[in-house]
Chains A and B, each alone.
Chain A
Amino acid sequence: QSALTQPPSASGSPGQSVTISCTGSSSDIGSSNYVSWYQQHPGKAPKVIIYEVTKRTSGVPDRFFGSKSGNTASLTVSGLQGEDEADYYCSSYVAHNTYVFGTGTKVTVV
């Protein structure tokens, strides 16, 4: 199973929005309702922020928005804050209870 494709980097100024894409295929994102997004700060373990495409984990601000169209999922972070600077990974459930992760996107708040 090949990794899902994400842009290596994205950036925005405080208060702006940034959208990260995650492109897969009809075998993963295109056929899955179980797309998740993870946030990872340097030296820390990942934390799930979005699951089932659009649902926010408890405590995650509504500035984080997940969506999907066809074989591509997206994460939009609006009202960027310094604490949003992190690596973001998408993930899709695939057949036989396995998962595939995206290549990761480093978000910088400039």
Chain B
Amino acid sequence: EVQLVESGGGLVQPGGSLTLSCAASGFVFSSDWMTWVRQAPGRGLEWVANIKQDGSKIYYMDSVEGRFTLFRDNAKNSLYLLMNSLRAEDTAVYYCARDHDYKIDYWGQGTLVTVSS
């Protein structure tokens, strides 16, 4: 059974930093692109970033480019999202998900990031 478990969310002040982690199991982690999708409270889904199987290609949405860094550790079956210079508009539930054959087919339960003073 595919499982994705996020951790690392919490309350952070504007301008602060936070690192999200995602532990994957139940599939060959190193064989798939992985992605983060976020959802602000009461709002829709927003694709944030994704990373190729070997980490050689990474893509970000425009508003997080230069502030967020996505990386993975295939030996640990883990995905990470380092978030710097956080803004109020980054407040959201962040979902770790598998990006398989051009569809996002498995999702974690999400971790809430709140940016507020």
Is B33 within 8 A of A98, CB to CB?
no
Complex Cα distance, B37 from A89, in Å, reads 13
Is B44 within 8 A of A101, CB to CB?
yes
Interface assignment of A64: CB less than 8 Å from any CB of chain B: no
Interface assignment of B55: CB less than 8 Å from any CB of chain A: no
Which of A11-19, A45-53, A69-77, A78-86 lines the interface with chain B?
A: A45-53
Is B102 within 8 A of A101, CB to CB?
no
Known: A34-B103, A52-B102, A91-B104. A46 touches B59 (CB 8 A): no
| Chain B residues at the A interface, C-beta cutoff of 8 Å | 33, 35, 37, 44-47, 50, 52, 57, 59, 61-62, 95, 99, 101-105, 107-110
| Chain A residues at the B interface, C-beta cutoff of 8 Å | 1, 3, 34, 36, 38, 40, 45-48, 51-52, 57, 89, 91, 93, 96-104
